[in-house]
Chains A and B, each alone.
Chain A
Amino acid sequence: MAFRTLVTKKSVRSSFGQIRALQTTAFTLPDLDYDYGALEPAISGEIMKLHHQKHHQTYVTNYNKALEQLDAAVSKSDSASIAKLHSALIFNGGGHINHSIFWKNLAPATKGGGEPPKGSFGGAIDSQFGTLEALVQKMNAEGAALQGSGWVWLGLDKELKRLVVETTANQDPLVSNGANLVPLLGIDVWEHAYYLQYKNVRPDYLKNIWKVINWKFAGEVYEKECPST
């Protein structure tokens, strides 16, 4: 009898689980591992606070809203609405993805910001770009040349095991450029990322950000995909 009850409970739970699968967990704004002012003078505390509390938070809020609407549309089999939500999802979902990576890509000097990459990751950079400086120059050039809003990335093609420098427009995540691309390091070149401090001189922002780039995190992501033997 107890066994039968158990089976009943389990089947109820699994059908409830199926319903729950349609319900989304609300995404939340991740905390930074450092204070807003910790990246100065490379990036001002004013920018970090606005960037995190306003811009990223707005992406999270709108992402959750879009997912709720998607839920409703899916449950009604409303394909037109599903299709219409596509851009809201990529804008806001992409914004959440990209900024979550970005905060990890930055660190104050006291926590390793600016320290050059080591190990197999450092070796891969040298072998594929010549020197670290050459990689930095390339990313700066592509970041500066990007028209409008977007990101410049150091990525790993996990199929080819090659490092790549890519750019994406607006909040398109790196995977938009190729399903095999894993983001190691992204630099936000939307104007909100630098305007209050650097105004129109994006190249100065790009030059200075390397002082607070957290190569350790990028290396960890790299090692996970390309474990050194």
Chain B
Amino acid sequence: MSASLLTCAFLPRQELSESTRSFVWNNKQKQFKRRSGQQVVTAKIELKPPPYMLNALEPHMSKETLEYHWGRHQRGYVDNLNKQIVGTELDGLTLEGVVLVSYNKGDILPAFNNAAQTWNHEFFWESMAPGGGGKPSGDLLKLINRDFGSFDAFVEEFKLAASSQFGSGWAWLAYKANRLDVGNAVNPLPKEEDKKLVVVKSPNAVNPLVWDYFPILTIDVWEHSYYIDYENRREEYISTFLEKLVSWETVSMRLEIAKSRSTERDKEAERKRREEEEANLPGGEATEMYLESESEESEAE
């Protein structure tokens, strides 16, 4: 069963419903019309459909909610984003790239809200699955137990973050790698123990990518996410999300990716450090550059 779920996550288009297909087709038609009519080029960010049919999360999240939330809100973010970035230096970047560049260390550029909200919503749909809920297992459960004390303690913290995010925003489970965020400072002593799971919340469009965390789970707590199905009862929505919707398989998969990326980064940082050290040793390349004017002597060495 988990294999087919993974397939769903990787190849979402295989499971398009009729209504989803018509949304996708209409989107493509619009692009074609624009191009043929006015030679207008659109940027390439797409409205990615959820990896399940729009009614697949019922009764916990209705088809109507998905139709508006994905079909209107997310479509709006995508369309507006493409209009904003076409022809600019953001055009052609990956979605994640646009998010990071437009965050601009907190002094956000106009494209940030649309880019981050597009990213956040894709991540949100993929965080859920029909028949979801239950408990995580394996490595993920081990890390949850290590970093929160127990699965129940994690649930409490996640619920608190989601319900106390005032106004619009998101709550996250993220893998925090061990980086000092002080300009270009690097943690000189990276340790396995420094890397941990954390629960964080963020306002409006902000997401943990901008803090250099690896998000592995999210819940949207903008009112539009739950108002049709739960009205003002955000706590009920959050509980239902955890009990019936969250795809722990996807979260586990993301954790593995996060861990391997973190290891890659450590290796890369280590490699760079070694390179710099070697460049500074006597008899190395730096010395040659120094003795440019005395080239005969350096060759002799």
Query: What is A's interface to B at a CB cutoff of 8 Å?
Result: 50, 54-55, 58, 87, 91, 147-150, 169-171, 190-192, 195-196, 199-200
Contact = CB atoms under 8 A, between A and B. Distances in A.
B83 interface: no
Contact of A170 (B72, B73, B166, B224): B166
A149 B167 contact: yes
27 contacts: A50-B231, A54-B232, A55-B232, A87-B166, A91-B166, A147-B113, A147-B204, A148-B204, A148-B205, A149-B167, A149-B168, A149-B223, A170-B166, A171-B166, A171-B167, A191-B168, A191-B224, A191-B227, A195-B224, A195-B227, A195-B228, A196-B227, A196-B228, A196-B231, A199-B68, A199-B72, A199-B224
Given A169-B167, A170-B166, A200 B205 contact: no
Interface of B: 68, 72-73, 76, 113, 166-169, 203-205, 222-224, 227-228, 231-232
Contacts of A54: 231-232
Nearest to B227: A195
Contacts of A169: 167
Nearest to B203: A148
Q: Which 9 A-B pairs have the closest CB atoms?
A: A191-B223, A148-B168, A149-B167, A148-B204, A170-B167, A54-B232, A195-B227, A200-B72, A149-B168
Contacts of B169: 148
A190 B232 contact: no
A202 to B, nearest CB: 10
Contacts, number: 52
Given A190-B167, A192-B232, A200 B227 contact: no
B224 A200 contact: yes
Nearest to A195: B227
A200 B167 contact: no
Contacts of A170: 166-167
Nearest to B68: A199
B96 to A, nearest CB: 20
Contacts of B228: 195-196
Contacts of A91: 166
A148 B167 contact: yes
A191 B76 contact: no
Contacts of B205: 147-148
Contacts of B166: 87, 91, 170-171
Contacts of A195: 223-224, 227-228
Nearest to A192: B223
B232 A58 contact: yes
A138 to B, nearest CB: 20
Contacts of A148: 167-169, 203-205, 222
